[in-house]
Structure 1
Amino acid sequence: MLKHCSSFLFCLIVLISSSTLAQNSQLLNFNELSQQWNNELNQVEKELSDANLSDDRLSALRTQLLELQKKLQTIKIDLSEQQKTYQTQLTELGPPPAEGILKESKAIARKREVLNATLSETTGQVKETELIQINADNLIERLSTIRLNRFTKEIFSRSLSPLSGQAWLKASTEALEKYELQISKYQQLLADETFNSTFKSGLAYLIISLIPILILMKIIGNWLRKRYGRIAALPEPSYYEKLRAGLVLAITRTLFPMTIAIGLFILLQSGPLSSFFPAPMVKTVLSVLVMIYLVTGISRSMLAPDDPHWRLIPISTDNAAYVHKIIIGLSILFGADLILDNYFSLEKTSLEFNVIRKFLAGLLISGFLFALVIRKSIWRPDIQHNFRNEHPLKLWQRLRIIMALLVLAIPVTALAGYVAMSKLLAAQIVLTAGLYILLSTIKTLGMELIEELLDPDRQTGAKIQANLELDQDGKEILEFWIKVVFSFIMFFIGLVGVLIIWGVDSQDIMEWGYKAFLGFKIGDVTISISNIFLAIFLFAGTLLLTRVTQRTLEHRILPRTRIDKGIQHSIRAALGYVGFIIAFMAAISTLGLDLSNLAMIAGALSVGIGFGLQNVVNNFVSGLILLIERPVKVGDWVVVGDQKGHIKKINVRATEIETSDRATLFIPNSELISRPLMNWTHANQTGRLILPVQIAYGTDIQKVKAILLKTAAKHPEIQKYPEPNVLFRGYGESGLNLELRAFLFDVEKVNLVMSDLFFEIDDLFRQEGIEIPYPQRDIQLKDSDKFLQAFVDAISNNKHH
Structure 2
Amino acid sequence: MKWITLVLLLALLGMGSALGEESESVPFDQLLKSWNQTIERAQEALESDFARVEMSEIKGDLQATLDSARKARGQAMAQLETAKQRLESLTPVPATKESKEPGATEAPPAETPQIAALRKEMQSRVTKLNAEVTQTKLIIGQANDLLASIAGWEQTRIRSEILKRNPLPFHLQIWQKASVDALAFARQAIEAPRAWWDIHRLQDGTWRLLGPLMLVLVLGLGIGWPTRIWLTRRFGRDGAEQGPTYARRLIAALADGFANAVIPAAIVVLTLLILYLQGVLTGLFALLFYSGGTALAAFLMIMGLVRAAASPHLVAWRIAPVQPAHVYRLLAAIRGVTASLLIAFALLITAYYSKMLTPELESAFFIIQVPLTSLLMIWALAPAYWETSLAESQSAGSVEQAAERTGEPSATDDKAELTASEEETSPHSWFERGRKAGRLIMLLTPFLALAGYGRLAFFIQSRLVAVAILFGFALLLRLAIGEMVERGLTRRRLMPNGAVKKAADTDQRRIRGTMFWIGMVLNLLIFLPLIYLILFICGVPPTTLQLWIGQLLSGIQIGSISISLGAMLLATLVLIVGVIITNIFRHWLANRVLPNTRLDLGARNSIAAATGYLGVAIVLLLAISTLGVDFSNLALVAGALGVGIGFGLQNVVQNFVAGLLMLLERPVKVGDWIIVGATEGTVKRISVRSTEIETFDRSSVIVPNSEFISSPVTNWTYKNRLARVRIRVGVAYGSDTKKVAAILLHCAQAHRHILRYPPAAAYFLAFGDSSLNFELRCYVYDTDYYLPTISDLHFAIDDAFRQEGIEIPFPQRDLHLRSDSLALSSQQQEAEKPTGKQVHQ
Q: Which runs of 5+ in 1 are unaligned?
A: 1-24, 460-468, 627-638, 645-650, 656-664, 678-754, 764-772, 795-801
- How far apart are 1:130 and its partner, in Å? 0.5
1:27-426 aligned within 5 A: 29-50=27-48, 53=50, 57-93=54-90, 95=92, 100-102=107-109, 106-189=113-196, 194=201, 206-207=213-214, 210-211=217-218, 213-253=220-260, 254-256=262-264, 258-259=266-267, 262-263=270-271, 266=274, 270=278, 273-275=280-282, 281-345=288-352, 346-378=354-386, 380-385=388-393, 393-426=428-461
**Alignment-mate amino acid for residue 788 of structure 1:** S
SS at match of 2:157: helix
Q: How far has the Cα of 1:422 moved from its partner?
A: 0.8
Structure 1 segment 560-599 matched on structure 2, within 5 A: 560-599=596-635
SS in structure 2 of the partner of residue 266 of structure 1: helix
Q: CA deviation at 1:582?
A: 0.7
Tell me how far apart the structure 2 counterparts of residues 600 and 505 of structure 1 sit (CA, whole Å): 47
Distance between the aligned counterparts of 1:35 and 1:514, measured in 2?
25
Matches within 5 A, 1:537-686: 537-602=573-638, 615=651, 617-619=653-655, 670-671=706-707
Higher relative contact order (CA 8 A, sep 6+): 2
Offset of residue 757 of structure 1? 10
Q: Which position in structure 2 is the counterpart of 1:788?
A: 825
What residue identity is the alignment partner of 2:151? S
Q: 1:501 to 1:205 in 2, by over 3 A?
A: closer
Equivalent in the alignment of 2:547: 511
Q: Distance in 2 between matches of 1:342 and 1:676?
A: 78
One-letter identity of the residue aligned with 2:341: F
Change (3 A) 1:292 1:96: same
CA-based RMSD:
4.5
CA shift for structure 1 position 609: 8.6
Classify 1:266/1:435 alpha carbon distance in 2 versus 1 (closer, same or farther; 3 Å).
Answer: closer
The 2-side partners of 1:198 and 1:596 are apart by 72
Instruction: Provide structure 2 residue ranges, at least 5 long, that are not aligned to the other structure.
Output: 1-23, 97-106, 396-424, 495-504, 663-674, 681-686, 692-700, 714-763, 773-811, 832-841
Give the length in aligned residue pairs. Answer: 641
* 1:411 Cα offset (Å): 0.3
CA distance, structure 2, for counterparts of residue 155 and residue 347 of structure 1? 18
Q: Counterpart of 2:151 in 1: which secondary structure?
A: helix
State how far apart, in whole Å, the 1-side matches of 2:28 and 2:246 are.
62
Match of 1:535 in 2: 571
Q: TM-score, normalised by structure 2?
A: 0.66
Would you say the 8 A contact 2:185–2:356 is kept in 1?
no
Aligned-partner SS, 2:521: helix
CA deviation profile, 1:696-736 (whole Å, cap 9, x unmatched): xxxxxxxxxxxxxxxxxxxxxxxxxxxxxxxxxxxxxxxxx
Which letter maps to 1:214? L
Q: Name whichever of 375-384 and 591-600 sits farther off.
A: 375-384
User: Which AA in structure 1 matches 2:474?
Assistant: L
Name the counterpart of 2:718: none
For 2:515 and 2:465, locate their aligned partners in 1 and report how far apart those are by CA, in whole Å: 34
CA distance in 1, matches of 2:67, 2:310: 47
1:443 matched to which residue of 2?
A: 478
Quick check: 1:478 aligned with 2:514?
A: yes
Which is greater in Rg? 1
In 2, Cα distance between equivalents of 1:602 and 1:238: 55
Distance 2:536 2:207 in 1: 43
**Cα distance between partner residues in 2 of 1:295 and 1:538:** 41
Find 1:487's aligned residue among 517, 523, 533.
523
8 Å Cα contact 2:330-2:385 kept in structure 1: no
Return the structure number with greater helix share: 1
Change in Cα spacing, 1:225 to 1:87, as seen in structure 2 (3 Å) is farther
**CA distance change for structure 1 residues 491 and 200 in 2, over 3 Å: closer, same or farther?**
closer
Distance in 1 between residues matched to 2:570 and 2:314, nearest whole Å:
48
Pairwise CA distance, 1:397: 3.0
SS of residue paired to 1:163 = coil
Indicate how the Cα distance of structure 1 residues 290 and 554 shifts in structure 2: closer, same or farther if over 3 A, else same: same
Is the contact between residue 553 and residue 566 of structure 2 (CA under 8 Å) also seen in structure 1? yes
For residues 261-283 of structure 1, the C-alpha deviation after alignment (integer angstroms, 9 at most, x for no partner) is 53465357647x44466655543
Shift of 1:539: 1.6
1:592-645 superposed Cα distances (whole Å, 9 cap, x missing partner):
10112233445667799999986552235579999xxxxxxxxxxxx997899x
Change (3 A) 1:110 1:427: same
1:434 aligns with 2:469: yes
> How far does the alpha carbon of each residue in 1:557-603 deviate from its partner, in whole angstroms, 9 at most, with x for none?
33333322222222122122212211111111111101122334456
Q: Which moved more, 1:442-451 or 1:186-195?
A: 186-195
Deviation at 1:543, TM superposition (A): 2.0
Aligned mates of 1:492, 1:204 — CA distance in 2: 41
Alignment check: 8 A CA contact 1:167 1:352 kept: yes
Do 2:327 and 2:385's aligned partners in 1 also have CA atoms closer than 8 Å? no
Compute the displacement of 1:73 (Å): 1.7
User: What letter is aligned with 1:585?
Assistant: L
- The CA deviation string for residues 652-703 of structure 1, in whole angstroms up to 9 with x for no partner, is 9899xxxxxxxxx9986744888899xxxxxxxxxxxxxxxxxxxxxxxxxx
